[in-house]
Amino acid sequence: MEIRIVENISLTDIKADVLILPFTEDYKGSVYAGLDDETAGLIKHVLDTKEFTGKHTELTLLHTKTGRVVLVGLGKAEQLTAERLRRVGGKVFISKYLKGHEVISAALSAAIFKELRILDGAQHSAAFYFVEGGVLSSYEFRRYKRPEKDQPQSLKTLTVLDAAQSDNSADSMKWLDTVIPAVSFARDLVNTPSSDMTPTILAETAKSLSGKLVKVNILDAWDAKKEGMWSYLSVSKGSAEPPKFIVIEYYGGPVKMPPVAIIGKSITFDSGGLSLKPADGMEKMKYDMAGGAAALGIIKAASELSLDINLVAVLPATENMPGGNATRPGDVVTAITGKTIEILNTDAEGRLVLADAIGYAIKHYKPAVIIDMATLTGACSIALGNEAIAMMGNNEALMDELKKASKETYERVWQMPLYEEYKDYLKSDIADIKNIGGRTGGLVTAAYFLSEFVTDTPWVHLDIASTAFADKDKPYIRKGATGIGVRLIMNYLLNRHD
Ligand code: BES
Ligand code: MN
Ligand code: ZN
């Protein structure tokens, strides 16, 4: 969708199939004074009769001679937040008033936000959040649907009128033009079934991001052996699909500047291996590469924005399958750091691939910061439901920066502890560490396992198992892949380089 901001144009002169007019609850002013008499009369009528009162996410459609007008309720002005605006925007763009009926262009008036000084001083303008929610909600995954015969045209352009002249508007437009499409890009990768999103295909997708500032290097099984990444390789042994260890370098900053390492769990299908998962719900394990997809989305957005920092993304891609050569429970492997791991459950494979990915990033890049994103544990949703990313790490300042980004994007993180006592939970009888803790603390012992491969680099682990895929529609995110992590980390990176 193309988004334009136009200034100094009257409401009557705007040519669009739909005009979107937001109202706060019980609004008595007259920001939309420039409307033609017919439209003004209709609006006055629905307001007088209380057919439309401006309640949060309330919608009313008016047909006028000049076109369609959608009145949108914002709710009480004093209750408006960035997130509530995203939700209203989402509701409008997903509504039947904007879908179908040959609605190709829409115009949104931001006059009321300006008049009531809504969200003055926030990172972006009120109109921005409204549009962000709208664009996110418009995402659809149609790759496997036969095109319908009379499929209605979808919205192509959105014109924003009377936007606030905030200093941030250039940044806002860049966000909408690059970060939101990167979220959709990640969502497409995650929604794609595993047979069409193998490690090889994921690697090809990574290569498609190559460019002047982006170098992609794919390590195959042989290369991984030479690196001593036996922990990673142990996960791929039961699969007929070759593993691909994907490394992407982005150079936007000074040559000597240590990069931010983004590590994304990239299990393209997690059957559990020999510790096989139950049949019920196994189909969802195509989304076990959501961390990797988010990492690719971040590289894509960062390079399109030419961010002046360096990044390295590491995606240890493989399937986790129960083949004749699969890793057996009880096997011991050595990771890149030299630590030995007793594999007691082959379904705890995420930490095995991440241990080597983290070790690889430290060995070859000495990163300033490591951020890993992983659909790591079922225990994540037991602890937090589907509302927040579980965050653990070894550096409070780094976690504070992510909390800030989390507040701004509403991709919420919730910090969980990494007590040193958890070390005991992972004591192996025969190796340096085992890959599962006991029955309790599954979320934190998984993170503790990772910490054993990080040593002292500032590091944060984001368990996105409960947020990367929605089983039902959210206010502005349709069910399916959510693309979580892209907006959070992009916000963090943009704040970091300021
Ligand atoms: N990919 C799963 C975690 C997961 C579960 C993600 C549900 C999304 C939804 C991970 O590889 C896994 O299987 N974890 C096990 C670990 C256990 C064996 C210690 C789990 O959480 O059950
Ligand atoms: Mn698993
Ligand atoms: Zn997994």
Ligand nearest to the CA of 343: 1
What is the distance in A from the centroid of ligand 2 to the CA of 48?
58
**Mean pLDDT of all residues in 347-375:** 98
**Mean pLDDT of all residues in 340-354:** 98
- Residue whose CA is at the smallest distance from ligand 1 atom 22: 378
What is the distance in A from the centroid of ligand 3 to the CA of 384?
18
pLDDT confidence bin for 167, thresholds 50/70/90: low
Q: Is 403 annotated as a binding residue?
A: no
3-state secondary structure of 4: strand
Q: Is 265 annotated as a binding residue?
A: yes
CA distance 350 to 380: 14
The finding on whether 435 has its CB within 6 A of some atom of ligand 1 is no
Per-residue pLDDT at 169: 79
- The pLDDT mean for the chain works out to 95
Cα 185 vs. chain centroid, distance in angstroms? Answer: 10
Atom of ligand 1 nearest to the CA of 265: 1
The finding on whether 346 has its CB within 6 A of some atom of ligand 1 is no
pTM equals: 0.97
**Are 205 and 247 contacting, i.e. CB atoms less than 8 angstroms apart?**
no
Name, in order, each residue with C-beta under 8 angstroms of 174's C-beta and a sequence gap of 6 or more: 305
**Comparing 2-138 with 183-494, is the CATH topology the same?**
no
The finding on whether 288 has its CB within 6 A of some atom of ligand 1 is yes
Whether residue 102 is predicted with pLDDT greater than 90 in this model: the reply is no
The finding on whether 329 has its CB within 6 A of some atom of ligand 1 is no
Helix 290-304 vs helix 486-497: crossing angle, to nearest 10: 40
Q: Is 270 annotated as a binding residue?
A: yes
What is the distance in A from the centroid of ligand 3 to the CA of 316?
12
- Residue whose CA is at the smallest distance from ligand 1 atom 8: 465
- Which among 231, 344, 347, 449 is the best mutation to test ligand 1's pocket, defined by most ligand atoms within 8 Å of the CB? 347
The finding on whether 377 has its CB within 6 A of some atom of ligand 1 is yes
Known catalytic membership, residue 15: no
Percent of the chain with pLDDT over 90: 88
Phi, psi of 268 (to 5 degrees): -75, -20
pLDDT digits (tens, 9 = 90+) for 30-54: 889 889 999 999 999 999 999 999 9
Q: Is 349 annotated as a binding residue?
A: yes
CA-based nearest residue to 320, from 480, 194, 436: 194
**Mean pLDDT of all residues in 119-148:** 94
> In terms of pLDDT, which residue wins out, 411 or 163?
411
The finding on whether 378 has its CB within 6 A of some atom of ligand 1 is yes
Phi, psi of 62 (to 5 degrees): -120, 135
- Which among 194, 377, 382 is the best mutation to test ligand 1's pocket, defined by most ligand atoms within 8 Å of the CB? 377
The finding on whether 359 has its CB within 6 A of some atom of ligand 1 is no
Q: Which amino acid is at 423?
A: K
Domain boundaries, the chain: 2-138, 183-494
* Catalytic position from the list 207, 215, 277, 423: 277
CA distance 373 to 170: 29
**Are 1 and 158 contacting, i.e. CB atoms less than 8 angstroms apart?**
yes
* Catalytic position from the list 351, 434, 478, 487: 351
Whether residue 474 is predicted with pLDDT greater than 90 in this model: the reply is yes
The finding on whether 352 has its CB within 6 A of some atom of ligand 1 is no
**Are 489 and 420 contacting, i.e. CB atoms less than 8 angstroms apart?**
no
What is the distance in A from the centroid of ligand 1 to the CA of 347?
7
Per-residue pLDDT at 498: 63
Whether residue 171 is predicted with pLDDT greater than 80 in this model: the reply is yes
The owner of tokens 């941030």 is 168
Atom of ligand 1 nearest to the CA of 437: 19
Whether residue 466 is predicted with pLDDT greater than 70 in this model: the reply is yes
Cα R_g (the chain), whole angstroms: 25
Whether residue 150 is predicted with pLDDT greater than 90 in this model: the reply is no
Residues with CB under 5 A from ligand 2 (ion): 270, 347, 349
Per-residue pLDDT at 154: 83
Per-residue pLDDT at 151: 75
What is the distance in A from the centroid of ligand 1 to the CA of 351?
10
Q: Is 404 annotated as a binding residue?
A: no
Whether residue 130 is predicted with pLDDT greater than 70 in this model: the reply is yes
* CATH placement of domain 2-138: 3.40.220.10
Name, in order, each residue with C-beta under 8 angstroms of 390's C-beta and a sequence gap of 6 or more: 380, 383, 384, 413, 414, 416, 443, 447, 462, 463, 466
Cα 132 vs. chain centroid, distance in angstroms? Answer: 13
The finding on whether 319 has its CB within 6 A of some atom of ligand 1 is no
**Mean pLDDT of all residues in 229-251:** 98
236-267 in b/e burial notation, b at 16+ Cβ within 10 A?
A: bbbbebbbbbbbbbbbbbeeeeebbbbbbbbb
* CATH placement of domain 183-494: 3.40.630.10
Query: H or E element: which one contains 481?
Result: strand 480-481
What is the distance in A from the centroid of ligand 2 to the CA of 205?
24
pLDDT digits (tens, 9 = 90+) for 191-209: 999 999 999 999 999 999 9
Atom of ligand 1 nearest to the CA of 436: 19
Q: Could you tell me the CA-to-CA distances from 454 to 214, 365, 393, 461 in Å, in that order?
A: 25, 13, 10, 11
Known catalytic membership, residue 149: no
